[in-house]
A and B are shown apart, each in its own frame.
Chain A
Amino acid sequence: MKKLILVALLCAVLVVAWRSLLFVDETQQVIVTQFGRPVRTLSEAGLYFKPPYQSSLAIDRRVQIYNPRPAEFLTSEKKNIDLDVFVCWSVEDPQRFLETVGDPAGATSRIHDMVWSKLAAAVSRSPLENLVSVDGNKQRLESLVEGVAGPCADDARQQYGIALVDVKIKRIGLPDQVRESVFERMRKERARIAQRYRSEGSEEAMKIRATADKEKTVILAEAYAEAEIVRGKAEAEATRTYSEAHQKDPQFFDLLRTLEAYRKILDEKTTILLSGDSDLLKYLSRGPTAGDPRTAKPLAEVPSKPGSSPP
C-alpha cells in the first residue's frame, strides 16, 4: 500500500516535470498561454521551462506554398486568360496570426481573397500584351505582379501577421472555350508559313533553272558564232582558191559549170523541145555531110579564151 502511494507520487512528479518542459522546434514558434491568455512567444528553438499550468501552442514558421487551381481572368480588352498563381507565405507574428486567422486553412482563404481580387483588378486594367508579347517593352508581367504583391504583403503583415514571401504567376494559359479558336488561328498561321516556304522553294528553283537555261543558250550561241566564223573563213579561203584557179581560163570554167548545172537542173519532170535543125540531131536531118565540126553550129557557145594557152 505504501509502495502504491510511492508509485503514484512518482508518476505525478513525472507528469508535472513533463508539463514544465517545453521543446521549441526550429520549424516552429510557440505561444505560451495561461488559461487561454497568451503570455509568452518563443521564437528561438531550444528547451524552455514553464509552470505546469501554462499550455503551449506551436505555430509552423516555415514557408507555405499556396497554389490553387488556375483561375480565369479578364484583360482590359475582355480577353479570357487562365492564370496559375502561387503564393509563398509564412507566419511572421504568431500572436496576431492566432488572433485574426487561427490556422493555415484560414490563412490561405484570406490570402486568396486578397491577392486574387487585387490581381483581377490589375489584370483588368492591362491589355493582354502586358502579359504576353514578343515586344520586351510591352511585356510587364514582372511589374504587374510586383504591383499586386507589394500592397498585399503590407496588408497581410498588418492585418494577419503573415509575411508574403513571394507571389508569382506560374503559368499563363487559356480557358477551354478560347483554346479551340486559338488553335484554329494557329493552324491558319502555320498553313500560311508552310505555303510561303513552298512558294519560296518553287521561286528559287525556277530562278536556278532559268539561269541554267540562259547559260546553256549563251554557251550554244557563242559556239554557233564561233562555228560560223570558222566556216566563213574557210569559205572565203575556198572562194579565193577557186577564183585563183578559174582565173586561168574563165571560158572553160563557164562551160564546165554550166554543164554541171544542166545535170542538176534537168530531171525526169523536164520536157525538152528539140528542133530537127539542132546540132545534136544534125545527122538525123542532114546526113553525114553535116559532120564537119568546123562548119557546124556549135552545140554550145564556148568562147575560146583569147590569148590563153594551156599550161
Chain B
Amino acid sequence: MHRRAEPEGSHEHEHGHGRGQPDRWPNVWLLALVGLVVWAATGVYVVEPSQRAVVWRCGRILPELSVPGIHFGLPWGIDRVTRLKIYEQKRVGIGLSLDDRNLGRAVEPRRAECLAGDRNLIEISAVVQYEILDAKAYLIRTADVPAAIENLVTAELSAAIASRAVDDVLTVGRLEIQQQVLAAARGRLVRWQRKGQGLGVQINSVTLEAVRPPQEVDEAFRDVIAAREDRHRAVNEALGYAAALRPGARGEAERIRLEAEGSAAETLEKARGEADRFRRMAAQLGSGRELTTRRLILETLEEVLPRLKKIVLDDEAAKKLDLGVIEDQWP
C-alpha cells in the first residue's frame, strides 16, 4: 500500500561516484547535476486519473490530496507518496476468499461455519463493499484495513445468526440479516471514530453469498425441500382429481335428469296411446260384445296354449290325480 521510493543504496553510490571523479569539471556543477537527477527521479511524481496521492512530508501527511497530473514534490527522504484509488469500491470476503473464488475454488467450510440460534450449524459467507472516506485515517489507523473490516463484519454477522433459527437464516431472514449486519457494522465503526480510531472508510453493503447447511447434513435439508414439494404435489393432484370429478358428476346428474324426463315422456305417451286404444276398442264392442270377448279369449288361448304342457282329463280322472307325478317332471 505504501509506495516507498527506491532503496537508499543507489543514491549513496551516486554521490560517492561523483566525489571520486577527477577534477576536470568543477565539483559544484557535478553536484548540482547529481542533485537534479535525484530530484527528478524521486521528487517528481505522476498521479493517474483514477488515483489521488497522499504526500508524507517528513512523516507528516499533507492535508491536501494530489489530484491527477504531474507533481513536483521534495526529493526522497523528505517526501513519500502513496497513491490511493479513493473512489474505488473495495471488497472483502467473509467466510470466503475473493481470490480463491475467482479461481473457482469452494468456500472453506470451517471458516464459514457458525452456530445459529437453535444450535444448528450453518455455513454462511458474504461480501462486504466499502470505500475510503478519509484517506489520512485510512492510511494511518491500522496496517490492514480489509482484515479489520472482515473481523468486525464477521462478528456482527455471527451475532445476527446466533439470534435466529436456521430456517429463518436459510429462507426469509436473508435480507433482514444483511441490513442488520450492515447497520451494526457501521455503528461499530462510528464507535471507533468516537474513540479517535476511525478507519476512514464507509461500509456500503453487506451481501450474503452462500447460505447453506454444512455438507454433512446437506442431504437432510434437501429432503425437507423435497418434502415441501411432495406436499405441494399431493395437494395439486387432489385438486386435479376434484376438478375432474365435479364436471363428471354434473354430467352424470344431467344424464339422470334427462333420462328421467325421457322415461316420463315415454310413460305419458304410452299411457295416452294405450288409453286411446282402449277407448277405441271399448267403443267398437257395442252389440257384438259377447262374440268379441270370446274372440279375444280364444286368440289369447291360441297364443298361450301351444307353449304349455297339457294334460287332458275327464272330471272323474281329475279327482283321482296325484299331482306328484307332474311335479317330478319339472326341471
Contact = CB atoms under 8 A, between A and B. Distances in A.
A125 interface: no
A82 to B, nearest CB: 9
B268 A246 contact: no
Nearest to A190: B220
Contact of A65 (B147, B216, B239): B147
B315 A275 contact: yes
Interface string B275-298: 110110111111001110110111
Interface string B238-257: 11011001101110111011
Contact of A46 (B58, B141, B246, B315): B58
B296 A88 contact: no
Interface stretch (B38-46, B65-73, B97-105, B156-164): B156-164
B278 A246 contact: yes
Given A62-B143, A63-B141, A238-B270, A263 B304 contact: yes
A224 B56 CA distance: 101
Interface in B222-275: 223-224, 226-228, 230-235, 237-239, 241-242, 245-246, 248-250, 252-254, 256-257, 259-261, 263-265, 267-268, 270-272, 274-275
A15 interface: no
Given A256-B278, A310-B283, A172 B114 contact: yes
Contacts of A7: 19
Interface in A263-300: 263, 266-277, 280-281, 285, 293, 299-300
Contacts of B110: 173
A154 interface: no
- Most B CB contacts (10 A, CB to CB) among A28, A245, A263, A300 go to A245
Q: Per DSSP, are chain B's interface residues mostly helix, strand or loop, or mixed? A: helix
A19 to B, nearest CB: 14
B195 to A, nearest CB: 6
A165 interface: yes
A145 B326 CA distance: 114
A234 B263 contact: yes
A133 B117 contact: yes
A273 B311 contact: yes
B277 to A, nearest CB: 9
Contacts of B231: 197-198, 200-201, 204
Interface in A58-80: 60, 62-65, 67
B190 to A, nearest CB: 12
B58 to A, nearest CB: 4
Interface string A242-275: 1011101100110110010011001111111111
Contacts of A67: 147, 151
B217 to A, nearest CB: 5
Given A65-B147, A183-B217, A168 B152 contact: yes
A222 interface: yes
Given A67-B151, A293-B294, A166 B279 contact: no
A216 interface: yes
Interface string A134-175: 111001011000000000000000000001011011111110
B299 to A, nearest CB: 8
A97 interface: no
Contacts of B228: 197
A241 B248 CA distance: 37
Contacts of B241: 208-209, 212
A103 to B, nearest CB: 15
Contacts of A195: 227
A205 B309 contact: no
Interface stretch (B83-91, B118-126, B201-209): B118-126
Contact of A238 (B257, B267, B281, B300): B267
A219 B253 CA distance: 6
A252 B158 CA distance: 106
Contacts of B147: 65, 67
B331 interface: yes
A211 B241 CA distance: 11
A198 to B, nearest CB: 5
Contacts of B159: 141-142, 169
A202 B293 contact: no
Contacts of B132: none
Given A168-B152, A275-B313, A194 B235 contact: no
Nearest to B162: A132
Interface string A205-230: 11111011101100110111011101
25 contacts: A27-B139, A46-B60, A88-B151, A170-B154, A186-B217, A186-B220, A191-B220, A202-B234, A208-B239, A209-B238, A212-B242, A227-B257, A233-B264, A234-B263, A234-B267, A242-B271, A249-B278, A252-B282, A252-B285, A255-B296, A268-B309, A271-B329, A275-B312, A285-B314, A311-B283
Interface of A: 7, 23-28, 44-47, 60, 62-65, 67, 81, 86, 88, 90, 128, 131-136, 139, 141-142, 163, 165-166, 168-174, 179-180, 182-183, 186-187, 189-191, 193-198, 200-202, 204-209, 211-213, 215-216, 219-220, 222-224, 226-228, 230-231, 233-235, 237-239, 241-242, 244-246, 248-249, 252-253, 255-256, 259, 262-263, 266-277, 280-281, 285, 293, 299-300, 302, 304, 309-311
Give the top 7 A-B pairs by smallest Cβ distance, nearest first.
Answer: A227-B260, A201-B231, A234-B264, A238-B271, A223-B253, A212-B242, A245-B275
Given A86-B151, A237-B268, 18 more contacts: A25-B59, A27-B139, A46-B60, A64-B142, A132-B119, A134-B118, A174-B121, A194-B227, A196-B227, A204-B235, A215-B249, A219-B249, A231-B264, A231-B267, A242-B271, A249-B285, A310-B284, A311-B282
